[in-house]
Amino acid sequence: MAIKYNREAYDKVFTDLEKFKEFCSSAWTLGFNYSFRWDEKNLYNMKSSEWRAYQNYLKFGKPPKPRKDRFKK
């Protein structure tokens, strides 16, 4: 039984991986308060803060606004 090679799926994964790596390395220059540590295991992992920040950046195109402390006096 031969394994079918799905080139489109592999290309998508590696393209997403390169874009995610580029985002993590340049998050500071995009306007985020800090850069993100890049790790391959965070790709498509919604539990990781790096991937969620990347998805939000893709969706909105900008970093989130800083939140004001409501309890600060």
pLDDT in tens, 21-59: 999 999 988 888 888 999 999 999 999 999 999 999 999
**Neighbouring C-beta atoms of residue 51, cutoff 10 Å:** 20
Q: What pTM was estimated for this model as a whole? A: 0.79
Structural domain that includes position 19: 7-60
Tokens of 35: 């850069």
Q: Is residue 48 part of a domain?
A: yes
Q: Is residue 67 part of a domain?
A: no
Q: What is the DSSP string of 22-39?
A: HHHHHHHHHT-SS-----
**Number of domains comprising the chain:** 1
